[in-house]
Amino acid sequence: MNLDKLQESIEQCFAAGPGDARNPSALAAFLELRAALEGGYARAASPDAESPTGWRVNTWVKQGILLGFRLGALEEMPPACSRPSPAAAPAQESLSPGPPTFPLAFVDKDTYPARRFTAGDGVRIVPGGSSVRAGAFLARGVVCMPPMYINTGAYVDEGSMVDSHALVGSCAQIGKRVHLSAAAQIGGVLEPVNASPVIIEDDVFVGGNCGVYEGTVVRRGAVLAAGAILTRGAPVFDLARDQILRATPALPLIVPENAVVVPGARAIAKGKGQAWGLSLYTPVIVKYRDDKTDLSTALEELLR
């Protein structure tokens, strides 16, 4: 696959504006990009050692994803999995009764149906209402516990687990052996096209009910305790290294490698907030990962 040629086509089609809503050449370029995203050949953001964040935003990929929405038409969609008709069922008896039929229907852009997987893909999608949108990449060994959702443009690398009620937003980049615990929310971003998506690097543990938003980068090996919320506007107080981490106009919030982040509180120092003894939420780094921390996250290995 020639990504340079594909990039040129996407950029030209995106710059042309709406025009003919179903332009065949634009649709062909988008479908090629969608296949490249699902195969892991194209990514909304790629590792880049020369970048201050260690990542490079691929603006043209996000343009192509937006192009797909422009080209799509609303379509009534059947469930992603339904029981085959008796005529289509294999003659031999099977140990598995096959997937059930769900009395559900969806209406969405026809350019973004739900992805279908086979056993050969090496991805576990446990029954129970999960969905992966077309244009998302899931590597071999990924486990999806129901119900969870992975949006288009997302990249989930080998051995990661997306637990129940977890969300992987559009274009989010999830590394190897990451555990997204129950109800974890990884924010998505499509516009502006040059904005960095949320990036969770290898071996990160994201606790239950965590939220990571607005292009935050969580470095390799970090642990986010249950309930931690990371945004561009909230500073992180690093007690272990006596510093305060903030996003800047040029850079997102970056959580250091092996940091252990817990929900904390900061007292309001003036006005009625001080008089009433109020505090505001703030994330706090209490230490950096060690053998004891690794033991506390070892349970996930039993689930694979």
- Residue in this structure with the two tokens 């039929």, named with its chain if needed: 101
| β-bridge partners, 279 | 267
CATH superfamily of 109-295: Hexapeptide repeat proteins (2.160.10.10)
pTM over 0.85: yes
Please list the pLDDT of the chain residue by residue as tens digits (304 residues): 799 999 999 999 999 988 766 889 999 999 999 999 999 999 999 999 999 999 999 999 999 999 999 999 999 987 544 444 444 444 444 455 555 555 567 899 999 999 999 999 999 999 998 999 999 999 999 999 999 999 999 999 999 999 999 999 999 999 999 999 999 999 999 888 889 999 999 999 999 999 999 999 999 999 999 999 999 999 999 999 999 999 999 999 999 999 999 999 999 999 999 999 999 999 999 999 988 777 666 655 655 5
Every domain of the chain and the residues it spans = 3-71, 109-295
d(CA 10, CA 27): 10
CA distance 257 to 239: 15
Q: What is the DSSP string of 116-136?
A: ---GGGT-EE-SSS-EEBTT-
Q: Which fold has domain 3-71?
A: 1.10.166
| Cα 226 from chain centroid (whole Å) | 18
Contact present, 298 and 261 (Cβ < 8 Å): no
Q: Is the backbone of residue 141 left (phi > 0), alpha (psi -120 to 50) or beta?
A: left
Q: Are strands 45-47 and 55-57 parallel, antiparallel or unpaired?
A: antiparallel
